[in-house]
Amino acid sequence: MRPIQIVARTTAVAAVALLAGCATVPSTGPLSFFVTSVGSGKGADLGGLTGADAHCQNLAMTAGAGKRQWRAYLSNSAVQTTAAVHARDRIGKGPWYNAKGVLIAANVADLHNGNNITKVTALTETGAVVNGRGDTPNMHDVLTGSRPDGTALSPNPNMTCGNWTQSGDGAAIVGHHDRTGLSTDPWALSWNSSHQSRGCSMDQLKASGGAGLFYCFAAD
């Protein structure tokens, strides 16, 4: 009987430890994720990753969260001797919460497999809902330049509007923040890798359902 009691006691301890581990990520927290309320004003020309990060930082500052380090969820494709930059590697470890304090994802793995990004939760830095499919205008295309796992794409063809420096011809991969599309196929419901834009200018982004918006994450 003693060995059985030991096993039962060990199992109980393991169960308690597992529950404690699950409780380490609270369901509410400070602002650490948002969709930009406005774009750069120049379509997909964001001033590169540096300009996009600065845009995130400025918007966060207006929302009272400027003391944190903010990064845009954008990938860069490799260019000649410059290595690719992966969006998933830029945004810290999590957890991330929206402007209402709702948990979006506990960590990077959770973000790319089972996150809580929907039209209701993918709010701007001020807590506003971003127009989605069915709204006028539709603004559900969010710039990412990324694969579903948050990594950069091949440089040929370039799918980052020249690594976020072009506002004319070209294309960028976008995701749907409202998780809706023309079908129920996984690509149409993807938050970060749904399809390519019709171009890089603001008019071309609008034509495919976007407004030059992108995701921002607190990386610290």
45-54 pLDDT, tens digit each = 999 999 999 9
Is the confidence at residue 9, as pLDDT, over 80?
no
CA distance 164 to 44: 6
Task: Look at residues 162, 152, 166, 161 and name the one whose alpha carbon lies nearest to residue 197.
Answer: 161
Burial status of residue 72 (CB atoms within 10 A of its CB: 0-12, 13-18, 19 or more): buried
Bridge partner list, 79: 82
Is the confidence at residue 3, as pLDDT, over 70?
no
Average pLDDT estimate for 153-167: 96
CA distance 87 to 206: 23
Residue 17 has a pLDDT of 37
Q: What is the CATH number of domain 26-218?
A: 3.10.100.10
Is the confidence at residue 22, as pLDDT, over 80?
no
Token digits for 63? 């929302």
Token digits for 23? 């409780």
CA dihedral 23, 24, 27, 28 (to 10 degrees): 140
Task: Name residue 61's amino acid.
Answer: M
Residue 23 has a pLDDT of 52
Residue 157 has a pLDDT of 94
CA distance 27 to 24: 10
Token digits for 143? 């710039």
